[in-house]
Amino acid sequence: MINKTAFKTIAENRKAFHEYYVMETFETGIELVGTEVKSLRSGGCNLKDAWVAIENGEMLVKGMHISPYEKGNIFNREPLRVRRLLMHKKEILNLFGKIKQEGLTLIPLSVYFKGSLVKVKLGLCKGKKLYDKRAVSAKREAERNIDRSIKEKNRG
| pLDDT at residue 5, as a whole number | 66
CATH, residue 67: 2.40.280.10
pLDDT reported for residue 134 = 86
Q: Are 12 and 109 in contact (CB under 8 A)?
A: yes
Q: Residue 149: inside a domain, yes or no?
A: no
Residue 134, in any domain of the structure? no
pLDDT tens by residue, 19-68: 888 888 889 998 887 777 878 888 778 888 888 888 888 888 888 888 77
Other CB atoms within 10 Å distance of the CB of residue 27: 12
Q: Is 103 left (phi over 0), alpha (psi -120 to 50) or beta?
A: left
Does residue 107 lie in a domain region? yes
Instruction: Give the range of the structural domain holding residue 20, as residue numbers without chain letter.
Output: 7-129
pTM (two decimals): 0.73
72 pLDDT above the threshold of 70: no
Average pLDDT, the chain: 82
| Main-chain phi, psi angles of 69, to 5 degrees | -70, 125
Would you place residue 75 in the very low, low, confident or very high pLDDT band (cuts 50, 70, 90)?
Answer: low
Distance of CA 140 to the CA centre of its chain: 23
Number of separate domains in the chain: 1
